[in-house]
Amino acid sequence: MTIRILIADDHHVVRRGLVFFLRTQEQLEIVGEAGNGKEAVELAKTLNPDLVLMDLIMPVMNGIEATKIIKAENPAIKIMMLTSYADQEHVIPAIESGASGYQLKDIQPDELVKAIVRIMGGENQLHPKATSLVLSHLSGNNRQERKLLNELTKRELEVLKEIASGKSNKEIAASLYITEKTVKTHVSNVLAKLELGDRTQAALYAVRNRLLEQKPPSA
């Protein structure tokens, strides 16, 4: 399957460099380029890409605002932030705006391709620096969230933990000895019950409520 990509970056040299490299990858197709967030929003509407590589700091409209609008208009489009900033003021709003990935511009080209493919496979791709900031930011418990968690079945909780570990549906199916179709059903139920939009939000939700720290009850 070809992954159709829109690149949004106000630095022409960076944008052209990304286009030049990504076009060498068989499974990737560059469908458009945007020089700011407003252009990204307009092009996402007309081109309907699978994924947007989004810079954070851009003129006219920044990457966070553009991400919010794109995700509101078409939740199926994946957004990967590709930026030079790894501080809490940038990482947290980017993830909360709906981005499925957050990578720094010093990433190795091959690793960028792997991250793109993994995002399209349903995984979350956060740079280690971004992950640590998200974990520290989201470590507080929330009573309402705990209440919603109680609505989940034992199996749905297991699936949520696997999502938070960054596993794809295929990997979850293998881990829990169920079919991929069953995993998809559980994922849909989890998102509906917890009132979440996508897997990235579900993963953050699990971390925020310390689900990964809880040991399963002994038999």
User: In this structure, what token pair is assigned to residue 72?
Assistant: 């509101």
Task: Name the fold adopted by 141-213.
Answer: Arc Repressor Mutant, subunit A (1.10.10)
CA atoms within 13 A on the CB side of 28: 25
Instruction: Name the strand (E) or helix (H) holding 126.
Output: strand 125-126
pLDDT, position 127 = 53
Start and end residues for every CATH 1.10.10.10 domain found in the chain: 141-213
Task: List every span in the chain annotated with CATH 3.40.50.2300.
Answer: 3-136
Alpha helices in the chain (DSSP H): 12-22, 37-47, 63-73, 88-96, 109-120, 128-137, 143-149, 154-164, 169-176, 180-193, 199-208
Highest mean pLDDT among 137-141, 153-157, 209-213: 153-157
Window from 77-86, 148-157, 186-195, 206-215 with minimum mean pLDDT: 206-215
Residues 26/32, Cβ–Cβ less than 8 Å:
no
CATH superfamily entry for domain 3-136: Response regulator (3.40.50.2300)
> Are 8 and 63 spatial neighbours (Cβ–Cβ below 8 Å)?
yes
Q: Are residues 183 and 159 in contact, defined by beta-carbon separation less than 8 angstroms? A: yes
Binned at pLDDT 50, 70 and 90, residue 139 comes out as very low
What pLDDT digit, counting tens, does each position of 171-188 carry? 999 999 999 999 999 999
**30 forms bridges with which residues in the sheet?**
5
> Contact 44/61 with Cβ under 8 angstroms?
no
d(CA 204, CA 97): 13
Which is higher by pLDDT, 93 or 133?
93
